[in-house]
Amino acid sequence: MRTIRVIILVLFVICHLSFDICSAATLTKIRYKPYDDKIRVVFEMEGEAYYRIKPQDKGFAVQLLNCKTENNESRDYAINDWVVKELKVRKEGNDTVVYFPLEYPVEHKIYPLGSPNRIVIDFGREFSKVETRSRIAEGVEYSFVTKGGPGGYQGIHVLRVDPKKAEIFPALAMRSPTFFQSLANIFTPWQKISRIHFYKEKVSSIEDKHNALAGINGTFFDYTGRPLGVLLINGELISYPIHNRTSVIIDSKNNASIDRVFLDGYVEINNRRYPITGVNQPPENNDVIIFTKHYGELTGTGGQGYELTIENGKVARRHIGNSRIPDNGYVVYFSPMFVENVFGSVKAGDFAKISINIMPFSSEIKNNLLHVMGGGPRLLKDGRLYVSKHYERFRSDVGEGRAARTAVGITKDGQILMVAVDGKPRRIVRQGESYSIGATLEELAGILLSIGAYEALNLDGGGSTTMTVNNRVINRPVENNGSRPVSNALLVRDLD
């Protein structure tokens, strides 16, 4: 009897140790459910399942030991969540192996549950991964970062620029003559190509014309290409500030800062000063507007105002609206309220001069201002989140929701960060296709803070968001036909 009992005990132990003989289970169903902070995958089982994790090059596999499926067949499941797009069920000998190909390094947790028997896998959504990093030139580095969150993942392109080794500057789009116009210039040099009110072209083209290394799109603009906000290039004022919005400032020593600027300007004729209310913009009531060659060939003001054409510092002509803008001067537009006074006191040959003082609100900027590019709203101030979209009077199309975004940040030690966050493509997205979801302004501020920015501001975004390196677009623009023509860009090139 004792021998029989020993044999029975041995068989019992062997039975419990051998899954192949005594512990077969069946995978009956796989279900999943997405949540804001995770996606849950559940294996429903008949019998008690034993498993182990098998690491893979991308993702992992769950090996269900001595387990079969109901139909004893391999199968693929399309999940179409950006974290887990699919899973693959494969029969391998007596085991069933479920493969989870993962594109992003999200955390996961696996645990069994009973009554009924289940194996649960929770995949998180939070992660940050530097996908690529490369050196563009001395002092210029590019990196691509993917960042996961509740709404999806964000593709983030970053140019890090050392202002001691590379120059950052704004540039306007420029109209290029066609082949036939170039021939006309050769054979009829006395004729000029008509200028239009500003212009628009792709960032890669603006970069190429300025022999730059890289660039991003710049400030907001209207349908004509006219910048909406302050723009100062090489000390020349192109447009006036609006709504007290934040700007990126480059001084004469190539130092960058982010601040609001105040402009105080006047035109002086016959010892009388008239306050300037705008530069290169359509006039409204009670305005005194300066039109320069950047605006176009004509002021386009119609017959409502009175205009003085100034050439080489003197009044060349007086005109009732729609004056031709000279290359060697500018036009001063006076609204009707000034007409009687100016018309009666100003004549051809009188001296005229413009004085415009551009003053940053911060007293820490000591050097002369070389470039100023308006944008907004501010995103970071003194290393803290500071999204001033309401104060700077941005409408909901900029201030709310996720979109492709462009931004500039400055680290505490003066490094310049140029950032483009890809948004959802406007074309029809194929089922299961991954895409960056863009960012809210608050998320954009968090991104800038996470990569080391101490100060930051937003620039034009949406369809305008573009980053180029060596004249090649490296982000994923949302427009169906690629990058959108823009009014201006912020560029990087080698220091001379």
SS3 string, the chain, reads: CHHHHHHHHHHHHHHHHCHHHHCCEEEEEEEEEECCCEEEEEEEEECCCEEEEEECCCCEEEEEECEEECCCCCEEEECCCCCCCEEEEEEECCEEEEEECCCCCCCEEEEEECCCCEEEEEEECCEEEEEEEEEEECCEEEEEEEEEECCEEEEEEEEEECCCCEEEEEEECCCCCCHHHHHHHHHCCCCCCCCCCCCCECHHHHHHHCCCCEEEECCCECCCCCECCCEEECCEEEECCCCCCEEEEEECCCCEEEEEEEEEEEEEECCEEEECCEECCCCCCCCEEEECCCCCCECCCCCCCEEEEEECCEEEEEECCCCECCCCEEEEEECHHHHHHHHHHCCCCCEEEEEEEEEECCCCCCCCEEEEEECCCEEEECCEECCCCCCCCCCHHHHCCCECEEEEEEECCCCEEEEEECCCCCCCCCCCCCCCCCECHHHHHHHHHHCCEEEEEECCCHHHCCEEECCEECCCCCCCCCCCCECEEEEEEECC
Assess whether 206 and 231 both reside in one domain.
Answer: yes
Residue percentage of the chain with pLDDT more than 90:
71
Residue 462's pLDDT is what? 95
Do both 74 and 94 map to the same domain? yes
Q: How far apart are CA 83 and CA 125, in angstroms?
A: 7
12, pLDDT greater than 60: no
Residue-averaged pLDDT of the chain: 88
pLDDT above 80 for 192: no
Specify the pLDDT at position 339: 77
Distances (CA, A) of 244 to 54, 169, 225, 228, 366: 58, 22, 21, 12, 21
15-24, 147-156, 370-379: range with highest mean pLDDT: 370-379
Answer yes or no: do 383 and 458 share one domain. yes
Of 124, 140, 162, which closes a domain?
Answer: 124
The answer as to whether 14 is a domain residue is: no
CATH code, 102: 2.60.40.3470
Give the pLDDT score at 302.
80
33 and 120 both lie in a single domain: yes
Torsion 292-295-297-302 (CA) sign: negative
Residue where a domain terminates, one of 104, 124, 144: 124
Instruction: Look up residue 468 and give its two tokens.
Output: 């180029």
What length does the chain have?
A: 496
120 and 135 part of one domain: no
Q: Are residues 248 and 108 in the same domain?
A: no
In a domain, 282, yes or no: yes
User: Total domain count for the chain?
Assistant: 3
Assigned domain for 355 exists: no
In percent, the amount of the chain with pLDDT more than 70 equals 90
Report whether the peptide linkage leading into residue 360 is cis, meaning its omega lies within 30 degrees of zero: no
Q: Are 51 and 64 in contact (CB under 8 A)?
A: yes
Residue 418 counted as domain residue: yes
Q: Considering the domain boundaries, does residue 9 fall inside one?
A: no
The lowest-confidence range among 94-108, 320-334, 360-374 is 360-374
Name the residue with tokens 């067949």: 73
Mean pLDDT lowest for which of 45-59, 360-374, 450-464? 360-374
pLDDT band of residue 196 (cuts 50, 70, 90) is low
- Shared domain check, 369 and 255: yes
Within a domain: 168: yes
Do 276 and 255 belong together in one domain?
Answer: no
Average pLDDT of the segment spanning 255-263: 93
Q: Are 232 and 381 within one domain? A: yes
Which residues span the domain enclosing 288?
Answer: 271-350
Tokens, residue 290: 């300066």
Same domain, 329 and 409: no
Tell me what the mean pLDDT of segment 445-473 comes to.
Answer: 97
Last residue of a domain, one of 75, 101, 124: 124
User: Is a pLDDT exceeding 60 seen at residue 6?
Assistant: no
Q: Are residues 153 and 186 in the same domain?
A: yes
Q: Write the pLDDT tens digit of every residue in 391-443.
A: 999 999 899 999 999 999 999 999 999 999 999 998 766 666 778 999 999 99
